[in-house]
């Protein structure tokens, strides 16, 4: 199973993309990375890593893995959590990146749960994940890259979380990957790697 953890800094990502010859709008992407850094600030992942590393992993999955070069998809991958996890709004995203990127970010932004309890949060998340089945392909690509970043090192998480997240990924995300050959193959490898969680 290929793991995408090389691009921990934008400078590394930029150099790799430039060297690959991929037709990627590096300046536009750099603006998105700058905005993500500004909005996420000092936020950290549950592992303690700077939040921007997750965003760059999702970008790496799309560019190095799936071969995606569409500017809106790549920018949305870098910005996919800003509305959900920072004070930034969709209006803020649209002001800086336009309606196409904003629509993709909107699709992958989990709405707040109606209630405060664990049950309400789980129900809201399940509804959000089911709704992704209606999303445009570009938004699905962003979500798939996000989930690859999250599950590629699933073994670093608490055991109960591992089992829950594995089941959730099989139920909601793996079906989204079916029409996308690269993602379908990657998730098949991942599923074998973590089969002990079934």
Query: In order of start, what are the domains of the chain with their CATH numbers?
Result: 10-197 (1.10.3210.10)
Give pLDDT tens digits for 34-87: 999 999 999 998 878 899 999 999 999 999 999 999 999 999 999 999 999 999
Question: Rounded to two decimals, what is the model's pTM?
Answer: 0.95
Q: Is 146 an annotated catalytic residue? A: no
In angstroms, the Cα distances linking 183 to 79, 89, 135, 189 are 20, 29, 16, 10
Tell me the average pLDDT across 3-7.
96
Catalytic one of 16, 25, 85, 92: 85
Q: Is 85 an annotated catalytic residue? A: yes
Angle at 88 between CA 99 and CA 60, to 5 degrees: 70
pLDDT for 138 equals 98
Catalytic one of 84, 155, 178, 189: 84
Residue 90: pLDDT band (50, 70, 90) is very high
């Amino acid at each position: 199973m290929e793991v995408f953890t090389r691009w921990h800094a934008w400078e590394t990502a930029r150099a790799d993309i430039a060297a690959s010859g991929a037709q990627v709008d590096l300046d536009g992407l750099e603006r998105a990375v700058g905005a993500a850094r500004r909005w996420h600030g000092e936020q950290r992942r549950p592992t303690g890593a700077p939040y921007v590393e997750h965003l760059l992993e999702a970008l790496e999955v799309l560019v190095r893995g799936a071969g995606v070069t569409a500017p809106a998809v790549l920018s949305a991958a870098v910005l996919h959590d800003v509305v959900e996890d920072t004070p930034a709004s969709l209006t803020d995203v649209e002001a800086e990146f336009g309606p196409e990127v904003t629509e993709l970010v909107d699709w992958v932004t989990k709405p707040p749960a109606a209630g405060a309890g664990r049950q309400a949060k789980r129900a809201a998340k399940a509804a959000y994940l089911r709704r992704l089945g209606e999303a445009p392909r570009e938004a699905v690509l962003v979500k798939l890259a996000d989930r690859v970043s999250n599950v590629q090192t699933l073994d670093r998480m608490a055991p109960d979380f591992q089992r829950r997240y594995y089941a959730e990924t099989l139920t909601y995300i793996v079906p989204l990957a079916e029409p996308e050959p690269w993602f379908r193959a990657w998730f098949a490898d991942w599923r074998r790697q973590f089969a002990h969680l079934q």
